[in-house]
A = this chain, B = another copy of it.
Amino acid sequence: MKLLVIGVGLIGGSLALALRRADNVSEVVGAGRTLASLEKAIQLGVIDRYTTDLTAEVSNADVVVVATPVMTVDSVFKLISKADCSSSVITDVGSVKGSIVDSAKRHLAADFCQFVPGHPIAGREHSGVTAATADLFDGKRTILTPTPQTNSQAVEVIRKMWEDAGSVVSQLEVDEHDDLVSASSHLPHMVAFGLVHYIANHKRSQACFDLAASGFYDFTRIASSDPSMWRDICLANSTAIARELDGYIEELVSICKTISNHDRKALEQLIKVAKSARDENLAQWLG
């Protein structure tokens, strides 16, 4: 398999490393905005070479992985559309699928059937190719969201690719995916960013940070994620995220009332439900 990775960062780089580990790529070609990071990717053995002629490489590749930040995917599809990609399978790794599918439809036209929208649910707080590791996807889920027009053989190629990379693959509808991740991933990130931002602007900010314990830092690890990436995710899935934030704000208003009312029983019940839901699902997640 000849692989073209556009955007050789944490996810694109880790995928290349995982597929090399599985020994099922003959060549990995990289493309991206900055020469320095492409050269770093060669040094680290992530890619074999890089290209600045995307059009030619797209036609040559068996699989094209678009792993650039969500907001730049549109311009990448525009570039890809200039190539003949009738014999290549194209996929992406964006954590929002609706806007990306729209953009693929618009640019790829007849080749849209060759595009398999994907979302590997894995990440670290560090970004860039230097953070890439071959085991990033091991045992982690990858969601594919093919549309009715998507070529089913193309779906199988991408399913096999992620399974080879160590991931557990399943499928969802595009809208369903975006609704679910707005609650499971985007909301927790905004809650964490919001909490640290709130403490950072607290009138006793430094004293608060000085008293913070390990729990606080575990809790806010996801607040250390890449700012421009998360800005773009918020913009691309704004309606669903705003809806979930509204629901969560209602939850907090209710908790605040329970605390102010000194409702002992309701408080314990709330905390018990949260603790057992967290513990049970963690156990299941850990297998």
Q: Which residues of A contact B (CB under 8 A)?
A: 121-123, 140-141, 143, 179-181, 183-185, 187-202, 204-205, 207-225, 227-228, 230-231, 234-235, 238, 241-242, 245-249, 251-253, 255-256, 259-260, 262, 264, 267-268, 270-275, 277-279, 281-282, 284-285
Bound form: Cα–Cα A214–B246 in Å: 24
User: In the assembled complex, which residues on chain B have CB atoms less than 8 Å from the CB atom of A122?
Assistant: 213-214
Bound form: Cα–Cα A223–B222 in Å: 16
Tell me which of B188, B213, B247 contacts A123 (CB under 8 A): B213
Bound form: Cα–Cα A88–B255 in Å: 41
Bound form: Cα–Cα A64–B199 in Å: 35
B216–A188 touching, CB < 8 Å: yes
User: In the assembled complex, which residues on chain B have CB atoms less than 8 Å from the CB atom of A208?
Assistant: 180, 183-184
- With A204-B179, A218-B222, A245-B256 as contacts: A227 and B275 at CB distance below 8 Å: yes
User: In the assembled complex, which residues on chain B have CB atoms less than 8 Å from the CB atom of A201?
Assistant: 273
- With A202-B183, A271-B231 as contacts: A212 and B255 at CB distance below 8 Å: no
B264–A225 touching, CB < 8 Å: no
Tell me which of B188, B238, B241, B279 contacts A195 (CB under 8 A): B188
User: In the assembled complex, which residues on chain B have CB atoms less than 8 Å from the CB atom of A221?
Assistant: 215, 218-219
Q: Which among A187, A205, A207, A211 has the highest number of chain B CB atoms within 10 Å?
A: A211
B238–A259 touching, CB < 8 Å: yes
Given A179-B204, A218-B222, A219-B220, 13 extra CB contacts under 8 A: A140-B213, A184-B209, A188-B220, A193-B271, A197-B277, A200-B277, A205-B277, A209-B277, A218-B221, A225-B271, A234-B267, A238-B259, A249-B249
Copy count, this protein chain: 2
User: In the assembled complex, which residues on chain B have CB atoms less than 8 Å from the CB atom of A220?
Assistant: 188, 219, 278
A224–B278 touching, CB < 8 Å: yes
User: In the assembled complex, which residues on chain B have CB atoms less than 8 Å from the CB atom of A218?
Assistant: 218-219, 221-222
CB closest residue in chain B, given A212: B184
User: In the assembled complex, which residues on chain B have CB atoms less than 8 Å from the CB atom of A187?
Assistant: 195
CB closest residue in chain B, given A246: B256
A272–B227 touching, CB < 8 Å: yes
State the Cβ distance, A227 to closest chain B Cβ, in Å: 4
- With A188-B219, A215-B221, A224-B275 as contacts: A209 and B242 at CB distance below 8 Å: no
CB closest residue in chain B, given A196: B274
CB closest residue in chain B, given A198: B251
User: In the assembled complex, which residues on chain B have CB atoms less than 8 Å from the CB atom of A207?
Assistant: 180
